[in-house]
Structure 1
């Protein structure tokens, strides 16, 4: 019989994860933290993902809970199903492609309890680039203020390297967007930085990120990419702009929105950039030769940006410091052409 009210609930969405799920789950069931529940959601897979999950549950019934979704909801929707039943003091998220160090959740939970922190972050290793990084440096830890929140938001990072107090997801209830192809986590990460009161880190590489060659972002068409970009921009604004901490961090939040805006524009004019090369002198040509469908998408994207971004480019220190001058000029030209209702 399972013990409820665990220290950490780890949520794993799985879709057609035959090649990686066993390794992922193996790294979780062997965690040195004993009071842990692992909630695995089969996102309507068409391979043997469900069978792999079922075998794991039978072998570790005191740790593993499995859920079988009747339809494909994407990673966000699958995570939501698990969030609704998670009992842990803290929530961890792991992708089925990846795996974690055996002491990851013991270290994160111990640090979280030591200072009653809302969030604790750790370092990660990325196989594709053979690089390791910790996004939350010591200077950003402790009680959060406007400056720390701005730097955390502008710095980025990942949900999967962290644990979060469960109440951050529940009071009020916040859930992830379903059926999102890319940029699925960005709005939630920004929301968490605005919602949390404190953060700390464990300066060890605990999460192993495995970039698969056939990942969705590499094969996505323009329409699907646009939907992801538009949805992420809208979700960041919708989930965050009424929060009491929003005004103090607005420059960083709008930088994040404008970064996504730039991604969307550049995808729409990709063929022109590829044809003529990346140069500020060619910007007008990029837009002169854009297709009718892309014009429609750019118009919709620009109207949204104008609605949810209150400040310009040149006065935002994060935009000036982090977005290339060419991309800023491309955004300005797009605004001129498509910014009218």
Structure 2
């Protein structure tokens, strides 16, 4: 030892002769120093050559490796408990024998643990299937430091335990003192023992740290302990583990204090996910009888589940629809009744970087969670939709008992238009193809992919539009005079009739009677090249007198809800190129975020979304603190630079300056800029057509010292950056 804290690494082993050396080598190569480790290898009565390998490792490293053979098979829980009983390290890490750890994992987690005496430190996880993972240099250790006296922090951790990589025992470093003071143990001889252990850690911990870097590599081993067999026992074990958690919570009431009451809904949602919903999601082949028993037992244990705000539509009809094989059965029986009675919904996807499909998937997820009627999703796409994202979209439909059809076409039919779409994706143009691509459909709902459908969409579907071509809601920015679309300025429609095309109920029969919609839109765009809302302006012009205007609840802009801090209502919320922001403290954004987590992209999106929002808060408060220190100094001259917009005016208001009397420049040249300690520029990011920041930097000014960007220190409702 060299003065460093000892870390005990506990590795349960069962029939891992092919993988154990790969795992051990990654432990041996830790930059924390193998000499500072105690590696405990526990064989759970393997039937292959695993034990011989463990014995040889102990002979080779007698001071650092302990190899034990468990006397009674107890699955991973029994092995880990034995390891905890004999370990002597100040900290404990659990590693599965077929996994791999980053060379810096223990060093990074130990450094974080010792910063503020954390009980648990957790790192990011990546999966691999090859002989060895692709290990990248971990150069950026973004950190979430969570004081669990803050109830919201604990609630978020509990909800996060529905993610596979969060609920595991590995990829974490634990304080041995914390584990022993609370007598934390694994349940033995059952699967999912880590679920019980992780839940108690989150409930009992005072301080919890999450390192965003990927430092643990999970091997997707089809022969592993969880994945090797498909059996009803695994469904039963999920119930057993949840009952252990319930009993532990009851027996530890004194220890937990008011945590149980404060986090009741989150704990209950965790139990629902792991005992009932995950039982189906993880195990593909099971008897319906087992599911019914599982459901009945859960409802007996949690009779007030219907009052839980996290749980929506947990009725018999919804469960049967979500958990049945309706779509597969209908196809096998050639039962067209399903399609005839279904709501048909279309989304267009152009996904050039592979990151767009998640938003379409989240729109779908929000629909199936709020709508009982059968649905057929129609996905219009080009070659940019990859197979992985296609499979995930299909999973959302399949898991909810709904249908999905993919319609591929070549966007080259739009010609040079694709290159002139500016900030809009060519995917928005796909909707004009609907009458041609689906000649047998009479009606369809088209939806943009940046929607959160927080209502039953069947009500929109049932609108009578027999005498119309479209039903759509007015565009809120247009009717509030925030902007004038080209079609309104050109007199092609009126301001009060201009609609937003992000949500459309389309009467395809009536549209076809007017001729080819595709050709009409293309002709419009050729004749009106100045439009910057391409097909939206075209649709408004073509169907000006043939559109039923409907309530704004069917297409309600999220900015409106945020500005007024509105509660979540039965509406379709349109993010309209506005990013999800968790720092708004708005319950609509939170509900949208949790919907994303319930999609097949949930685990990969979770940390990124949280980090983006936390990063914006840190940046804004840091800039604001620096600016106020500067602005309150004596003899400081504030110069405002940029066009007369909301961010400039709000910056003046924040700094108690009057627009008519303060020093303000709409344009500046490099030779007009003063560079001294007493002059501070307050500049809008779009000053001088976006060149203002470069002009200031070239004059020798430093961002955050001699000049401050309004969008960085203002709240987003005042003209600040969203993220």
Which TM-score tier does this pair reach, normalised by the shorter chain?
A: 0.7 to 0.9
Please tell me whether the aligned partners of residues 6 and 87 of structure 1 are also in contact (alpha carbons under 8 angstroms). Answer: no
**Aligned residue number for residue 311 of structure 2:** 319
Deviations 1:109-153 (A, max 9, x none): 111011111111111111159999xxx985562444221111111
1:176 lines up with 2:176 in the alignment = no
Q: Secondary structure of the equivalent of 2:169?
A: coil
Greater RCO structure (CA 8 Å; 6+ sep)? 1
Shift of 1:45: 0.8
Deviations 1:84-109 (A, max 9, x none): 11111111100001010122111111
For 2:210 and 2:57, how far apart are their aligned partners in 1? 31
Shift of 1:47: 1.1
Deviations 1:281-301 (A, max 9, x none): xxxxxxxxx5xxx26x734x3
Please tell me whether the aligned partners of residues 222 and 267 of structure 1 are also in contact (alpha carbons under 8 angstroms). Answer: no
TM-score normalised to the size of structure 1?
0.78
Uncovered stretches (5+) of structure 1, i.e. residues with no partner:
273-289, 335-341
**Aligned residue number for residue 151 of structure 1:** 156
1:305 lines up with 2:306 in the alignment = no
Q: Secondary structure of the equivalent of 1:70?
A: coil
Q: Secondary structure of the equivalent of 2:311?
A: helix
Shift of 1:172: 2.7
**Aligned residue number for residue 30 of structure 2:** 31
For 1:45 and 1:13, how far apart are their aligned partners in 2? 11
1:166 lines up with 2:160 in the alignment = no
Q: 1:63 to 1:30 in 2, by over 3 A?
A: farther
Q: 1:333 to 1:141 in 2, by over 3 A?
A: closer
For 2:68 and 2:186, how far apart are their aligned partners in 1? 17
Q: 1:226 to 1:3 in 2, by over 3 A?
A: farther
Q: Secondary structure of the equivalent of 1:81?
A: helix
Q: 1:151 to 1:62 in 2, by over 3 A?
A: same
Shift of 1:302: 4.4
TM-score normalised to the size of structure 2?
0.38
Please tell me whether the aligned partners of residues 5 and 88 of structure 1 are also in contact (alpha carbons under 8 angstroms). Answer: no
For 2:216 and 2:314, how far apart are their aligned partners in 1? 34
Shift of 1:216: 4.1
Please tell me whether the aligned partners of residues 148 and 154 of structure 2 are also in contact (alpha carbons under 8 angstroms). Answer: no
1:15 lines up with 2:14 in the alignment = yes
Q: 1:21 to 1:4 in 2, by over 3 A?
A: farther
Shift of 1:325: 6.9
Q: 1:131 to 1:84 in 2, by over 3 A?
A: same
**Aligned residue number for residue 240 of structure 1:** 249
Q: Secondary structure of the equivalent of 2:67?
A: strand
For 1:163 and 1:18, how far apart are their aligned partners in 2? 26
1:187 lines up with 2:196 in the alignment = yes
Please tell me whether the aligned partners of residues 151 and 262 of structure 2 are also in contact (alpha carbons under 8 angstroms). Answer: yes
Shift of 1:168: 2.7
Tell which structure's C-alpha radius of gyration is larger.
Answer: 2
Shift of 1:310: 5.4
In the alignment, which of 297, 312, 319 is matched to residue 330 of structure 1?
A: 319
Please tell me whether the aligned partners of residues 143 and 211 of structure 2 are also in contact (alpha carbons under 8 angstroms). Answer: no
**Aligned residue number for residue 285 of structure 1:** none
Q: Secondary structure of the equivalent of 1:33?
A: coil
Runs of 4+ residues over 6 Å off in structure 1: 2-5, 129-132, 265-269, 324-328, 331-334
**Aligned residue number for residue 284 of structure 1:** none
For 1:19 and 1:172, how far apart are their aligned partners in 2? 36
Shift of 1:215: 3.0
> In the TM superposition, what are the counterparts of 1:1-341 in structure 2 within 5 Å?
6-34=5-33, 35-128=36-129, 138=143, 141-156=146-161, 157=166, 158-181=168-191, 183-241=192-250, 242=253, 243-244=256-257, 245-260=259-274, 261-264=276-279, 290=288, 294=289, 298-299=292-293, 301-302=294-295, 304-309=297-302, 311-313=304-306, 315-320=307-312, 329-330=318-319
Farther-moved stretch of structure 1 (93-102 vs 141-150)? 141-150
For 1:7 and 1:258, how far apart are their aligned partners in 2? 39
Please tell me whether the aligned partners of residues 21 and 96 of structure 1 are also in contact (alpha carbons under 8 angstroms). Answer: yes
Q: Secondary structure of the equivalent of 2:174?
A: strand
For 1:69 and 1:171, how far apart are their aligned partners in 2? 25
Shift of 1:268: 9.6
Q: Secondary structure of the equivalent of 1:226?
A: helix
Shift of 1:184: 2.3
